Amino acid sequence: MTDPAPKKHKLNDPQWFALRAIADQIVPPSAKYSVPGGGDEQICKEVLGDVGQNLPKLIDTLEAINTIAHDLGGNDLGQLETSAHEAIALTFRHTHPKLADRLAMWVTQCYYRDERVLESLGLDARPPFPQGYEIESGDWAELKPVTNRSPIFRSIV
């Protein structure tokens, strides 16, 4: 990974490379299914766009990852061999579970919106509307207990 961090975002190169490396640990690339990993440049740019006001939390998370990488491997995560990434990711998950969960959520949300991933799953890379999706008609009688119940709110008059 040699491309620098996107210019309009506030990640420096070590943070950008750490994001890409750890995202590939969260969702590894698959040659079998012809899909990129979570560390794909386009997907990571989406992550940066999605975090919005949480950018300082993302930066803190990436700094924590690079601290662990320095402790275990002597360098930033993006500068270490790929074989060392798994041990660092596991240590990060063990020592910072809440940060790891948040990062995994950001990465997977962006990953499963990627057109290449959707197409590999046999889904159209489009929003559900205006075309919509077919939904089987169900048994409306199952809603009778809901429609027959008394109001669940207080009247304002």
| Structure confidence by residue, pLDDT tens digits, 82-124 | 999 999 999 999 999 999 999 999 999 999 999 999 999 988 8
pLDDT level of residue 147 (50, 70, 90 thresholds): confident
pTM: 0.77
Q: Is residue 134 part of a domain?
A: no
Q: Give the pLDDT confidence score for residue 49 in this predicted structure.
A: 92
The answer to whether the CB of 112 falls within 8 A of the CB of 118 is yes
Give the DSSP H or E segment for 90: helix 85-95
Q: Give the pLDDT confidence score for residue 69 in this predicted structure.
A: 96
In angstroms, the CA 16 to CA 65 distance is 12
Q: Is residue 121 part of a domain?
A: yes
pLDDT level of residue 151 (50, 70, 90 thresholds): confident
Q: Is residue 52 part of a domain?
A: yes
Domain count, the chain: 1
Residues linked to residue 30 through DSSP beta bridges, in sequence order: 35
The answer to whether the CB of 88 falls within 8 A of the CB of 68 is yes
**What is the span of the domain harbouring residue 83?**
13-125
| Structure confidence by residue, pLDDT tens digits, 5-42 | 666 668 999 999 999 999 999 999 999 989 999 999 99
Other C-beta atoms closer than 10 Å to the C-beta of 64 total 17
Over 90: is that where the pLDDT of 47 sits? yes
Q: Is residue 100 part of a domain?
A: yes
Q: Is residue 150 part of a domain?
A: no
Burial 83-120 (b: 16+ CB within 10 A, else e): ebbeebbeebbeebeebbebbbebbbebbeebebbeee
In angstroms, the CA 58 to CA 14 distance is 13
Q: Is residue 143 part of a domain?
A: no
